């Protein structure tokens, strides 16, 4: 099957699909587009104008969770668990990862201190809720890397920039989440899902939001 992944260099949802493809060792072509100037051909295959879109033999599949499920259906090894109930629970945590991404968006978009602190507090709660759910490691459900791991690798990647500027979203007491985050960062499929210039691009992206986090990154504001 001919697989083309329509992508954006910063998109965390794209990274899920890249991680799944890399875990499966599948040949594919990644095509990065400019989301600020969407090509007409992209709008024709993406009903919501969002990345990622997978073109499978030219047929568009959209929504990252759906793309990952489809890749899991057609390519070995299985990343979803076999057990129906466990698989349903994994799907829930993948949705949860999307909600954490929205909260991260709230953090880097916050224009005043109150909104910033509300987003930071919510993020810490979101990570705390994971602590009793994460297994004994190294991955979400133990030894086997799953699609939940593919969804959280891109979530944790944001935190490297934030941590470097004293904005800590994962409290130190969350030892299992912290170990999981480290294991994901070391997984080749996760590490390689973005280009070498990703940190610089993310920094520029946050600075362009002009919010509280941008001011912290620029050294103009300090955390109280």
Ligand X SMILES: N[C@@H](CCC(=O)N[C@@H](CS)C(=O)NCC(=O)O)C(=O)O
Asked if residue 31 binds ligand X (CB under 6 A), the reply is no
Distance CA 116, CA 51 (A): 27
Q: Which of 26, 31, 35, 179 binds ligand X (CB under 6 A)?
A: 35
Near ligand X by CB under 6 A, which window of 43-51, 79-87, 204-212, 215-223?
Answer: 43-51
# chain residues binding ligand X, by CB under 6 A: 12
* By the rule CB under 6 A, 13 interacts with ligand X: yes
Torsion sign (Cα): 167, 10, 61, 26: negative
Binding part of the chain for ligand X, among 62-70, 88-96, 127-135, 212-220 by CB under 6 A, reads 62-70
Q: Is 30 in the site for ligand X (CB under 6 A)?
A: no
Positions marked active-site: 11
Number of Cβ within a 10 Å radius of residue 121: 12
Interaction between residue 92 and ligand X (CB under 6 A): no
From CA 116, how far away is CA 165, in angstroms rounded?
14
Q: How far is the CB of 220 from ligand X (least distance, A)?
A: 27
**Minimum CB distance to ligand X smaller for 154 or for 211:** 154
Binding mask 64-83 for ligand X (x = CB under 6 A): xx------------------
Taking each continuous run of H as one helix and of E as one strand, the counts in the chain are 10, 4
Q: Is 11 in the site for ligand X (CB under 6 A)?
A: yes
| Three-state SS at 129 | helix
How many whole angstroms separate alpha carbon 137 and alpha carbon 192? 21
Task: Annotate 73-109 with three-state secondary structure.
Answer: HHCCCCCCCCCHHHHHHHHHHHHHHHHHHHHHHHHHH
- Cα 205 from Cα 67, distance rounded (Å): 26
Q: Please identify, using beta-carbon distances, which residue of 32 and 117 lies nearer to ligand X.
A: 32
Q: Which two structure tokens, joined as six digits, stand for 172? A: 């130190």
Which range binds ligand X by CB under 6 A, 59-67, 120-128, 174-182, 183-191?
Answer: 59-67
Helix (H) or strand (E) holding 7: strand 3-7
Does 51 bind ligand X (CB under 6 A)? Our answer is: yes
Q: Tell the smallest beta-carbon distance from residue 195 to ligand X (Å).
A: 15
Phi, psi (degrees; rounded to nearest 5) at 51 = -95, 150
Name the site residues for ligand X (rule: CB under 6 A).
Answer: 8, 11-13, 35, 49-52, 63-65
């Amino acid at each position: 099957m001919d697989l083309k992944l329509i992508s954006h260099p910063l998109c965390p949802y794209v990274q899920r699909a890249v991680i799944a493809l890399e875990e499966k060792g599948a040949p594919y072509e990644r095509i990065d587009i400019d989301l600020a100037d969407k090509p007409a051909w992209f709008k024709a295959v993406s009903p919501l104008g969002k990345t990622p879109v997978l073109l499978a033999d030219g047929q568009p599949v959209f929504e990252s969770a759906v793309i990952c499920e489809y890749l899991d259906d057609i390519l070995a090894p299985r990343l979803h668990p076999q057990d129906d109930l466990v698989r349903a629970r994994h799907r829930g945590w993948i949705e949860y990862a999307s909600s954490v991404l929205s909260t991260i968006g709230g953090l880097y978009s916050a224009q005043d201190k109150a909104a910033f602190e509300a987003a930071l507090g919510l993020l810490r709660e979101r990570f705390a809720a994971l602590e009793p759910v994460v297994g004994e490691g190294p991955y979400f459900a133990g030894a086997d890397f799953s699609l939940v791991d593919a969804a959280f690798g891109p979530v944790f990647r944001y935190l490297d920039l934030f941590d470097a500027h004293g904005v800590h979203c994962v409290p130190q007491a969350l030892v299992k989440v912290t170990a999981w985050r480290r294991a994901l960062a070391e997984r080749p499929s996760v590490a390689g899902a973005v280009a070498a210039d990703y940190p610089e691009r993310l920094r520029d992206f946050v600075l362009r939001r002009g919010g509280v986090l941008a001011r912290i990154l620029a050294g103009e504001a300090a955390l109280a």
